[in-house]
Chain A
Amino acid sequence: MWHDAVLVAGKDLRIEARSRVGLWQVVPFALLVLVLLAFAIGPDQAALRHAAPGIFWVALLFSTVLAIQRSVAVESGEGTRDGLRLSGIDPAGIFLGKAAAVGLQLLALELVLWAGVTFLFDVQVHVVWLAVTACVLATIGLACAGVLYGALSAGLRVRDTLLPLLVLPVLAPVLLAGSKAWEAALNGSTSSGTQWLKILVPFAVIYLVVGIVLYGPLQEAA
């Protein structure tokens, strides 16, 4: 399973590295969301600083949807999914591989977004380990849940419109807990931040386990 996961993740990341869709479309989109939300809030520096954690996570969530759509699109070519299914690779391995690929891209995106909010909203993360832990835990959850829902909508003609409707409410707890943990990290209040990590941990673990179990049946359905 782990070997298969590494193979699948390597394949997806190689495709991304060659096509540069992530670099030239997803990253600019995430930064665009940052700027647009700042426009909506207005030039009040205090309000922007207050809203910065939320803006970071909303931008990340929207970009996650794009990353998932991309991850599904890679498999949507002529018979690609059937090829993958017939290749004898463990479905759990495919799931882990695709989730790892999406997760690594999201982590890179989070670095860019982090720099973006620091630069645009003039905020300083005081408890760095809290912010990083929140990001890593959230990324596992986002990638696992995202890949699962991507598989659910794979092969549908209405995939592009259906996926956000399905996945965004599911990811709402990550948005909430992530923003709150970041708010605490910005304010330097560690204890209230760790409370919110307790939401991110089960989210990540549950979707990881459920994905390993359910990806096989889902693949057959798609």
Chain B
Amino acid sequence: MSERAVLPGRPRWLDAFGALGVIAMGFTVWLGLWVTPPDKFQGNLARLLYIHPAIATVALYWVGIVAAGGSLLYLWPRTRSFFWDRLAASAVEVGAMFAALTLVTGSLWGRPVWGVWWTWDARLTSTALLLLLEIGYLALRRVPAEPAVRARRCAVAALLIAIDIPIVHFSVDWWNTLHQGGTFLDPGFKIHASASMSWTFLLGFIAFSLIFVWLLGMRYQVEVLQDAVGDQELEVSLTERWSEDTELVGVGVADRDPTPGGATP
């Protein structure tokens, strides 16, 4: 088939999320770098905290909820649909990026404040292991297989990873603890920061959450397109094979039915 079938387009609301995310991010950068005052203790280094906890929240919670939820809903026979499979896979891939960003931004902050790029602290170690687990999932995802087989295998893998994460977290928590707990909000929810700082902090969370939804949607779209292209390619090659076969059959008929008197030597 030479004519291209129409590929599914992406929904409008996704672009809206992207636009909102970029605007919120712009405001976060502006507020974080120019408007807010330097921190009393950490000076300008504290500005990294407008993005680092937000990125980590996306990497740990939003990704975890979408990936584990999607995989569970795929495995559940009544809700089984490739929508959930693609959503979970997209979440893990976006999540791997956010986990890597969490490590990078944390490391940039840790160097001047703690004096080292990396330390064997509980949260760092569990985040690094999370990234490795996600890379393993993505490697499994790349292995060619029937879509249904791949989806089921990946869903089980995602759930196994989701189970492992709390165990990893607790084990390394006991192992060594250096990372501070929540300093921004104490248990009584009394905010120890100036108003502009708190708003920037909050805006960072919103910005990264919006960006996450946008990236998730875009990645989902790529999955859909990949599958559509795969199907089309299969159809094209099948059609080609069919036409080859009919040509061969045509030749065969001509050979078997020669005109009288005109026999081939």
Q: How far is the CB of A214 from chain B (nearest CB, A)?
A: 6
Q: Any chain A CB within 8 A of the CB of B243?
A: no
Contact pick for A170, options B145, B160, B170, B171, CB 8 Å:
B160
Contact in complex: B175, A180 (CB < 8 Å): yes
Q: Any chain A CB within 8 A of the CB of B63?
A: no
- Residues 122-156 of B, flagged 1 when their CB comes within 8 A of A and 0 if not, give 00000001001101100110010100010011001
Residues of A contacting B163 in the complex (Cβ-Cβ under 8 angstroms): 206-207, 210
Residues of A contacting B160 in the complex (Cβ-Cβ under 8 angstroms): 145, 148-149, 152, 170, 210, 214
A170 and B156 in contact, given A176-B172, A217-B75 (Cβ under 8 angstroms): no
Contact in complex: A218, B153 (CB < 8 Å): yes
Q: How far is the CB of A5 from chain B (nearest CB, A)?
A: 21
Contact in complex: B174, A195 (CB < 8 Å): yes
Q: Any chain B CB within 8 A of the CB of A221?
A: yes
Residues of A contacting B170 in the complex (Cβ-Cβ under 8 angstroms): 199
Q: Any chain B CB within 8 A of the CB of A166?
A: yes
Contact pick for A221, options B152, B172, B175, CB 8 Å:
B152
Contact pick for B171, options A149, A169, A173, A220, CB 8 Å:
A173
Residues of B contacting A166 in the complex (Cβ-Cβ under 8 angstroms): 136, 139-140, 157
Of all chain A residues, the one with the shortest Cβ separation from B151 is A221
Q: Any chain B CB within 8 A of the CB of A17?
A: no
Docked CA distance A173–B132 (Å): 14
Q: Any chain A CB within 8 A of the CB of B159?
A: yes
A199 and B135 in contact, given A156-B143, A170-B161 (Cβ under 8 angstroms): no
Contact in complex: A217, B152 (CB < 8 Å): yes
Residues of A contacting B164 in the complex (Cβ-Cβ under 8 angstroms): 169-170, 173
Q: Any chain B CB within 8 A of the CB of A21?
A: no
Q: Any chain A CB within 8 A of the CB of B65?
A: no
Docked CA distance A207–B171 (Å): 16
A169 and B129 in contact, given A152-B156, A176-B172, A199-B174 (Cβ under 8 angstroms): yes
Q: Any chain B CB within 8 A of the CB of A40?
A: no
Q: Any chain B CB within 8 A of the CB of A177?
A: yes
Contact in complex: B132, A169 (CB < 8 Å): yes
Contact in complex: B171, A214 (CB < 8 Å): no
A165 and B159 in contact, given A152-B153, A202-B167 (Cβ under 8 angstroms): no
Contact in complex: A152, B129 (CB < 8 Å): no
Contact pick for B159, options A149, A214, A220, A222, CB 8 Å:
A214
Contact in complex: A170, B133 (CB < 8 Å): yes
Docked CA distance A27–B136 (Å): 27
Docked CA distance A145–B157 (Å): 11
Q: Any chain A CB within 8 A of the CB of B33?
A: no
Contact in complex: A218, B156 (CB < 8 Å): yes
A interface residue numbers (CB < 8 A to B): 145, 148-149, 152-153, 156, 158, 162, 165-166, 169-170, 172-173, 176-177, 180, 195-196, 199, 202-203, 206-207, 210, 214, 217-218, 220-222
Q: List 22 A-B contacts (CB under 8 A).
A: A152-B156, A158-B143, A162-B139, A165-B139, A166-B157, A169-B136, A170-B133, A170-B160, A170-B161, A172-B129, A172-B171, A173-B167, A176-B172, A199-B167, A199-B174, A206-B163, A206-B167, A214-B156, A217-B75, A217-B156, A218-B156, A221-B153
Report, nearest first, the 5 A-B pairs whose CB atoms are least far apart: A221-B152, A173-B171, A169-B132, A166-B136, A221-B153
